[in-house]
Chains A and B, each alone.
Chain A
Amino acid sequence: MSRALVRRETISGYLFLLPSLIFFVGFVIIPMVICIVNSLTDANMNTQGLGNFVGLTNFIDLWKDKTFREALWNTFVIVIVSVPAVCAFSLWVSSAIYKLNGKLLSAFRCIFYLPVVTGSVAVTVVWKWMYDNYTGVFNYVLKSAGLIEKNINWLGDPKYALGCIILILFTTSVGQPIVLYVSALGNVDQSLVEAAQVDGATNFQVFWKIKWPQMMPTTLYILVITTINSFQCFALIQLLTQGGSGTNTVMYYIYYTAFKLTEKAGHFGYANAMGVILAIFIGLLSALQFKLAKEK
């Protein structure tokens, strides 16, 4: 390319990028930088400017904060339980439906996607009713089936509350992975599958030796988005338990610290420090997942 052409390409390239960059830099990059800077200060809701630089104090305080450690642990539990469950479930559903005829396939895909579209607030409100101690369907069905003797206060009991939240999160997380797996299964190289079948491979072998390796990029992507999704679990906590019954998560605690906590009202620096830690965790996990997938 001639020099003039390179210059022309650069100028027009940036002109095309400009509108998008204004929003990206203004409302993603700048807040990210502020978040990091703020986590090193004692800024609160009323601070003008940046606040006083306090070094790593916020992070040290967080380390000592029992509530934060508990929230971090709960977040970890949610991720560890829901990510493998979502992946395994969506893989099974996809392999059961991807060969069905078009209409049936899209009907199933739709049904599993519906909880996502319904929206977190509507979903949460109806599940709250279903979990209800007195009028909920869960207690009624389980009691009728003879599985429990008396009503369980699902959301008020620390033994069950986190599990209940994970169950709702699960139903609102499988939609996208199913769409992805169905398309990945459809793209598997059929000539390899047929060759293996001619050589007498069982369905199980065909799956593990041929389909699974080819779907690795999809699995990886699903792992990453499901992890991020589970980390962000917020509406469920805020609307169902407000972090009570042992269900506090980092995301909720950030919100609580910034907007609700009375003695530290609007302690933005502290909340932002949590945000930074959360971001580091997600970054590390994503990197780890990429590494594991590459080794395989």
Chain B
Amino acid sequence: MNLTSNRSRAYKVLSMIILLVLAFLFLFPLYWIVTGAFKTSQDIYSTTPVFWPSQWTMANFAKLFDRRSAPLFQLGSLVGPTVPGAIRWLVNTVFMAVAAMVLTCLTASMAGYALAKKRFVGRTLLFSLIVCAMALPKQVILIPLLKEMSALNLYDTLWAVIFPTVGWPFGVFLMKQFSEGIPGEILEAARVDGASEARTFFSIVLPMVKPGVGALAIFTFINSWNDYFMQLVMLASSSNYTISLGIATMQAETSIDMGLLMAGAALAAIPIILVFLVFQKYFTQGITMGAVKG
């Protein structure tokens, strides 16, 4: 008995050490981005990597904000003040992610509720179609999507990135999983009381699936923020770029200026990481629910 408990304790200590090493390795790229963004070019081009900046500098950010300028926003004839291109990219990215998030949550929670609780003709067929579509790589349809967007006059607008994100059926699937838990008696009672369908949905269903909406919101926000391939194909002019696309373009133009690129990468990564850390709880829940009966 003593021997086994000693061995299992040794195993626990060993696995903890391995975990800590792994955690360090997984954090390292992020550490390298953040410190790299503040390093002088001397530190950056040193053949012996400088693990802690010998001197902190804002020069990389200054350079990043010095490149290109664009109006902060453009709504029809309303044009915002001129700001550095990178700030505009950030504004575009936030707009895109928020719009995709709001539209997805609204449409998916309605559809998920219908699929879970309504008994109508074609329900099973529709649900199988959704599950099949989910297994397909989104990128495969990107070229036809591009043609469709130019036909709709949406090419090179953020909507060309937003709409396909909203159409992606994962959200409907997730919200169906969450809506299954609504007790039928409550819906029945609402109907007997003469509540309209819309009223039932907004004041009974929606509050009950709130954790699901939270999960879907954060999931969509992060995915849309990082969906580089879609942004690359759909956006053409620099004032419509997202931050990821902007950094990628900068990388192609000046692939050797690592300080500038790290400043850009930090600007792209830090906001989304903060969002993730704040809403982490919902996120974990969403990932787990999406897999149930997957």
Binding site for B on A (CB under 8 A): 1, 6, 9-10, 12-17, 19-21, 23-32, 34-35, 38, 93, 96-97, 106, 108-115, 117-123, 125-130, 134-137, 140, 171, 176, 179-180, 183, 203, 217-218, 220-221, 224, 228, 231-232, 234-235, 238-239, 251, 254-255, 258-259, 268, 271-272, 275-276, 278-279, 282-283, 286
Q: How far is the CA of A140 from the CA of B46 in the complex (A)?
A: 11
Q: How far is the CA of A64 from the CA of B58 in the complex (A)?
A: 53
CB nearest to A113 among chain B residues: B276
Q: Is there a chain A Cβ closer than 8 Å to B269's Cβ?
A: yes
Q: Classify chain B's interface size.
A: 35 or more
* In the complex with contacts A13-B120, A112-B26, A272-B143 CB distance below 8 A: yes
Please tell me if the beta carbons of B225 and A119 are within 8 angstroms of each other in the complex. Answer: yes
- Which residues of B are found within 8 Å of A113, using beta-carbon distances? 276
Q: Is there a chain A Cβ closer than 8 Å to B287's Cβ?
A: yes
Please tell me if the beta carbons of A180 and B291 are within 8 angstroms of each other in the complex. Answer: yes
Please tell me if the beta carbons of B22 and A179 are within 8 angstroms of each other in the complex. Answer: no
- Which residues of A are found within 8 Å of B232, using beta-carbon distances? 238
- Which stretch of B59-67, B72-80, B129-137 is in the interface? B129-137
* In the complex with contacts A31-B141, A32-B141, A235-B110 CB distance below 8 A: no
Please tell me if the beta carbons of B222 and A16 are within 8 angstroms of each other in the complex. Answer: no
CB nearest to A119 among chain B residues: B226
Please tell me if the beta carbons of B19 and A27 are within 8 angstroms of each other in the complex. Answer: no
- Which residues of A are found within 8 Å of B266, using beta-carbon distances? 122
Please tell me if the beta carbons of A135 and B47 are within 8 angstroms of each other in the complex. Answer: yes
Please tell me if the beta carbons of B111 and A21 are within 8 angstroms of each other in the complex. Answer: yes
> From residue B53, how far is it (CB to closest CB) to chain A in Å?
14
- Which residues of B are found within 8 Å of A221, using beta-carbon distances? 291, 294
Please tell me if the beta carbons of B144 and A35 are within 8 angstroms of each other in the complex. Answer: yes
- Which residues of A are found within 8 Å of B121, using beta-carbon distances? 10
* In the complex with contacts A6-B119, A126-B262, A19-B107 CB distance below 8 A: yes
Which has the most chain A C-beta neighbours within 10 Å: B106, B119, B139, B225? B139
> From residue B143, how far is it (CB to closest CB) to chain A in Å?
5
Kindly identify, within residues 15 to 39 of chain B, every residue whose CB is under 8 Å from any CB belonging to chain A: 15-16, 18-19, 22-23, 26-27, 29-30, 32-33, 36
Would you call the interface of chain B mostly helix, strand, loop, or mixed? helix
Please tell me if the beta carbons of A1 and B119 are within 8 angstroms of each other in the complex. Answer: yes
Please tell me if the beta carbons of B265 and A254 are within 8 angstroms of each other in the complex. Answer: no
- Which residues of B are found within 8 Å of A112, using beta-carbon distances? 22-23, 26
- Which residues of B are found within 8 Å of A110, using beta-carbon distances? 277, 280
Please tell me if the beta carbons of A120 and B244 are within 8 angstroms of each other in the complex. Answer: yes
CB nearest to A144 among chain B residues: B48
Please tell me if the beta carbons of A251 and B29 are within 8 angstroms of each other in the complex. Answer: no
Please tell me if the beta carbons of A15 and B143 are within 8 angstroms of each other in the complex. Answer: no
Q: Is there a chain A Cβ closer than 8 Å to B282's Cβ?
A: no
Q: Is there a chain A Cβ closer than 8 Å to B1's Cβ?
A: no
Please tell me if the beta carbons of A20 and B48 are within 8 angstroms of each other in the complex. Answer: no
CB nearest to B34 among chain A residues: A126
Q: How far is the CA of A203 from the CA of B137 in the complex (A)?
A: 39
Kindly identify, within residues 122 to 149 of chain B, every residue whose CB is under 8 Å from any CB belonging to chain A: 123, 126, 129-130, 133, 135-145, 147-148
Please tell me if the beta carbons of B291 and A218 are within 8 angstroms of each other in the complex. Answer: yes
Q: How far is the CA of A9 from the CA of B126 in the complex (A)?
A: 16
Q: Is there a chain A Cβ closer than 8 Å to B95's Cβ?
A: no
- Which residues of B are found within 8 Å of A268, using beta-carbon distances? 143-144, 147
Please tell me if the beta carbons of A130 and B29 are within 8 angstroms of each other in the complex. Answer: yes
- Which residues of B are found within 8 Å of A10, using beta-carbon distances? 118, 120-121
> From residue B158, how far is it (CB to closest CB) to chain A in Å?
14
> Can you spell out 19 A-B residue pairs with CB atoms less than 8 angstroms apart?
A10-B120, A13-B118, A16-B110, A16-B118, A17-B110, A17-B114, A23-B166, A31-B145, A115-B30, A120-B228, A121-B228, A135-B46, A179-B287, A217-B294, A224-B294, A232-B137, A271-B143, A275-B139, A283-B136
